[in-house]
Chain A
Amino acid sequence: MSEAIALALVVENLTIDIDGASVVDGVSFAVEAGEVMALVGESGCGKSLTAFALLGLLPDVATIVEGRITLDGLDLSSLSEREMQRVRGNRLSIIFQEPTASLDPLATVGAQIAEAYTVHHGVGRSLARAKARDMLVAVGIPDPDRRLTQFPFELSGGMCQRIMIAIALICAPRVLVADEPTTALDVTIQAQILDLMKRLVAERGTGIVLITHDMGVVATIADRVAVMYAGRIAEIAPVEELFARPSHPYTALLLASVPGRDQPPKQPLATIDGQVPAADRLGEGCRFVDRCPVAGDRCRSEAPPLVECAPGHRAACWHRDRVAGLAGIAA
């Protein structure tokens, strides 16, 4: 392997239609090995759909009309269902937001961790079990030998999520998709799980696609952030750059709506007026136009392209110069 930055996952111009409406429209991003790439956005912005498209498990109503997904040089869209099955859980894994529901209640933890390894490597039980034990140690579960024989109901939510991470990482995947991995956990456990994920990917060179709506989680763990709005990427930037200099009005307002420690008590929190446009009422122009305080005429007629405004920082807005003022409003 060369020392040059290795791209683990490349998504190019991904477009997903449901009933003729582009719910994901021309989404492109890349994930480097060992990097945490966050996809942020509100419900229905297409972030989860994007994640499912990566794994080739879109619901029947959704179809990929355009775009290419490349995992480590392998074009996933060209694979058959059978070939895709060999990729899933092996070179590309996913963890969900409900760890307790994601484990089979009637199978031991050990059997479930070992399963992914057995399925993909066709090894015997004892070897898979030893491997499962190693993973338990790696995800920081004390007393692994006893835990292997336990059932999910005997474990806490945080521990179940550690198990899910162990299952996802046992085959040393190139990319891990984490769909709101900490939403169901309480805050202290959240921090532990995020730390764990960050450490494991750094050690193993696994890239993470983190799906979340929580800016706190993004700030804790992400290296780069793509902010999605109504199926398009509004802005994509390294995490410090995004928090310091948001260049899309949606990002700016989103950051402003996060309550801070210096927020005066009993003041209403900042909000973004209006709602996400329905998928069947998407116009020609910028999809954020109806809620945007800096929108001009051009925004209604023409969709803004993603333009580089600083190294590695791109935003899709015609009026980037007016965005700086927005952050001022909130502060």
Chain B
Amino acid sequence: MSARAMTARRPVRRHVRRVAVSIVIVGLILALILGLALLAPWIAPADPTRQVLMMRLKPPGTLAANGQLYLLGTDDLGRDLLSRILFGAQVSLAVATLSVLVSTLVGVALGMIAAWLRGWVEVAIMRLVDIMLSIPAVLLAVLTVAVLGPGFFKLILVLGLTRWPRYTRVAYGQTLQVANLPYIKASELAGAGSARILLRHVLPNIAGPLLIIVTAEFGLMILFEAGLSFLGLGIQPPAPSWGSIMSVGRQYVERAWWIVAFPGGCLFLLVFSVNVMGDWLRDRLDPRFRAR
């Protein structure tokens, strides 16, 4: 009987680790934000771009004559703030997700290639990384937007193509380490080609540290998008984005605090949750923090 239990498949998974309450809460917040963003078209009380000039700068909880409730108030053009924040969440999450995806693809590919091929390829890629990392990220992003112009896809491209060097550094270091392990040599000796070895054997084994970078960057990308939109370099009006809503609200802070406060609060909650989640992942995955 006990012998049967001993040979049960993947016994490690049976040890369910205790997860801290804070992680559960943060996870719920993330799930909530994601859910609300995805459901925005169905749950938003109004069209986020519909202007009702009669209802400009109304405070939270205002009930309109036609019976519509403005739960979070309205902005300077009489648009429903709750609807704008819900649709804005879509933009924030989409931009962050896609730009992280682009920079991960570019960065990890370059890092693995540099470490695998060595020689002049390695020198070229890693010096380029050094150069990119020595330029302030915001400056680089602003400059690129200035050249390409603003817009949803351009924003993703800008963020993706300026943020890859961090992934490259980590992927490079990890690949160097893994490439010298016997099992990589073994699959080389079994006749597997470079592409196959990198994708099938190296990538899964360096995924842990990369995941940590991904979460840290995800939080940063949300802030970047908001920042660039705030500066007018990101999402263009009338499309809602947390950054652009706050940018408009800035002019009315004294009269209508809610325009800045609600998207700002959402931004804080989202980035905070992502970062806490990222820290927790790092503790779980980074061997240096695992010794306890």
Contact = CB atoms under 8 A, between A and B. Distances in A.
B190 A150 contact: no
A119 B188 CA distance: 11
Contacts of B190: 88-89, 93, 115-116, 119, 167-168
A13 B185 CA distance: 27
Interface in B1-40: 9-11
A55 B189 contact: yes
A104 B187 contact: yes
A107 B189 contact: no
Interface stretch (A95-103, A250-258, A284-292, A309-317): A95-103
A102 B19 CA distance: 34
Interface in A78-106: 85-90, 93-94, 96, 98, 101-106
Nearest to A88: B191
B287 interface: no
B9 A103 contact: no
A331 to B, nearest CB: 41
Interface in B199-213: 200-201, 204-205
Contact of B183 (A87, A90, A105, A116): A105
A90 B191 contact: yes
| Interface residue SS majority, chain B | helix
Contacts, number: 72
Given A104-B205, A107-B204, A119 B191 contact: yes
Interface residues of A, number: 32
B189 A101 contact: no
A167 B11 CA distance: 25
Contact of A146 (B9, B200, B205): B9
Interface of B: 9-11, 181-193, 196, 200-201, 204-205
The residue in A93, A102, A112, A154 that gathers the most chain B C-beta atoms within 10 A of its C-beta is: A102
B193 A102 contact: no
Contacts of A104: 183-184, 187, 200-201, 204-205
Nearest to B186: A102
A90 B11 CA distance: 35
17 contacts: A57-B188, A85-B193, A88-B190, A89-B192, A94-B189, A96-B185, A101-B181, A102-B182, A102-B183, A104-B200, A105-B205, A106-B205, A116-B192, A119-B190, A119-B192, A150-B9, A154-B10
Nearest to A85: B191
A103 B185 CA distance: 10
Interface of A: 55, 57, 85-90, 93-94, 96, 98, 101-107, 112, 115-116, 119-120, 146, 149-151, 154, 164, 167-168
A85 B194 CA distance: 10
A116 B184 CA distance: 13
B183 A101 contact: yes
Nearest to A170: B190
Contacts of A98: 182
Contact of B189 (A93, A103, A120): A93
A167 B205 CA distance: 20
Contacts of B200: 104, 107, 115
Given A106-B205, A107-B200, A146-B9, A96 B182 contact: yes
A164 B183 CA distance: 10
A146 to B, nearest CB: 7
Contacts of B192: 89, 115-116, 119
Contacts of A103: 183, 186
B176 to A, nearest CB: 16
A57 to B, nearest CB: 7
Nearest to A98: B182
B13 to A, nearest CB: 11
Complex A-B, nearest 4 residue pairs according to Cβ-Cβ distance, in ascending order = A89-B191, A89-B190, A101-B182, A102-B186
Given A101-B181, A102-B182, A104-B201, A86 B187 contact: no
A151 B11 CA distance: 11
B208 to A, nearest CB: 10
Contacts of A55: 189
A94 B10 CA distance: 29
Nearest to A167: B190
Contacts of B201: 104, 106-107
